[in-house]
A and B are shown apart, each in its own frame.
Chain A
Amino acid sequence: MITAERKPMQEIIDYVSPFNRILLVGCNECVTVCAAGGRKEVGLLASALQMSFMQRGKALDIQEITLERQCDPEYVEQLVNYVDRYDAVLSMACGCGVQEVARRYKTKPVFPALNTKFMGASEHQGIWAERCQGCGDCVLGVTGGICPIARCSKRIMNGPCGGSTKGKCEINPDIECAWQLIWDRLKMLGLEDRYEEIMEAKDWRTSRDGGPRRIVREDLAS
């Protein structure tokens, strides 16, 4: 999922302070799962903003709405009946959702309430960790299902580096060495030979280095 965290309240308050009518839009997808921008978080933020405005003796008309997805035009279209009644939109989606709302409602100020973090997985309840950097050319098939790009601090393709100590990364003892994990898993699978294969320099053009990316599926695109 795409993970996110709520921005500091002061930053959100500064965005919406000039307005009296706010449409607060949550998203039912990734940000709901990582407890950052789902219906619950929308309710909490609306209440917090209401109290912040009340303290300044200002009235705030805030409408809460949580879309199935904010990164799809079909769902963003559902705001059409609400947007005109509000001065600004405060989005609790990831950056994709915020931009989709801003693209659709061009004359309406749209602000982000979250900081989008990374593509990750839940390690435990309440803990999420980075798992994928979307490099565009997946190597998990040869690295035992553990990504050296997202999980090695140096993104080393033929590791580990000299900073790997007792299975931990030198930058932080809480971070596991990705290459230690890769070795352990390959050994468990009886695929130690794969470790000996030298991976060539990665072609980063499939990643962000090739500029903003698009996927075009001609069988689906109309």
Chain B
Amino acid sequence: MKPFEPEIVAFCCHYCAYTAADMAGSMRIGYPPNVKIIKAPCSGKIDAIHIMKALEKGADGVYVAGCLEGDCHFKNGNNNAARRVKYLQKLLDEIGVGGERIAMITMSAGMGGRFAETAAEFTEKIRKLGPNPAKTAAGEKLEKAIA
């Protein structure tokens, strides 16, 4: 059996987190290839359903990366995103997937180092948690059906 490699989806806002990821590249700071970035105009644009669908379709962890507190380009999109993540954490706890599989992270556009650091930290956290239980059970059933 292959060792577990988490699939992470990172929704990054254009003005800070996405630029920070770009900065990490320019600074030649590596971060785990497990993290798949989806660029959004603002972290406040990330709806609860985007996070849920990412998990439903097989992500082991999802995080939303927005601007630092008080620095949102659209005033308070990052605060809205943080509230949505908190709401979804409760829902994910209720259905047994676990709220700790999602997170809200903030950074400025210049924080290439922080982007790489948080990507690595989150990947390790999810690695410890193991695969998304919804995906695992569904996958096992499929494997049995094929066998």
Contacts and interface: CB of A to CB of B under 8 A. Distances in A.
Given A47-B49, A48-B52, A54 B94 contact: no
A51 B94 contact: no
Interface string B56-68: 1000000000000
Contact of B49 (A8, A44, A50, A54): A44
A194 interface: no
B114 interface: no
Nearest to B48: A44
Given A9-B91, A57-B137, A57-B140, A51 B97 contact: yes
A66 to B, nearest CB: 13
Contacts of A48: 52, 91, 94-95
Contact of B53 (A13, A47, A54): A47
A202 to B, nearest CB: 41
A106 interface: no
A49 to B, nearest CB: 8
Contacts, number: 52
A54 B96 contact: no
Contact of B137 (A8, A13, A55): A55
Contacts of A52: 95-96, 134
Contacts of B48: 40, 44
Contacts of A222: none
Interface string A27-58: 00000000000001001100111111011110
Contact of B135 (A47, A49, A54): A54
Interface residues of A, number: 17
Given A8-B94, A9-B91, A44-B49, A51 B55 contact: yes
Given A8-B94, A52-B95, A54-B134, A43 B49 contact: yes
Given A9-B91, A10-B94, A55-B97, A44 B137 contact: no
A60 to B, nearest CB: 10
A13 B91 CA distance: 13
A9 B94 contact: yes
Nearest to B87: A44
A48 B48 CA distance: 11
B95 A9 contact: yes
Contacts of A56: 137
Contacts of B95: 9, 13, 48-49, 51-52, 55
B133 interface: yes
Given A8-B94, A44-B91, A57-B140, A51 B49 contact: no
Given A50-B134, A51-B55, A56-B137, 7 more contacts: A10-B94, A40-B47, A49-B95, A51-B97, A52-B95, A52-B96, A54-B135
11 contacts: A44-B49, A47-B53, A48-B95, A50-B56, A51-B134, A52-B95, A52-B96, A54-B138, A55-B137, A57-B138, A57-B140
Interface of B: 47-49, 52-53, 55-56, 91, 94-97, 133-135, 137-138, 140-141
- 9 closest pairs, A vs B, by CB? A9-B94, A47-B52, A54-B134, A51-B134, A54-B138, A57-B141, A52-B95, A57-B137, A43-B49
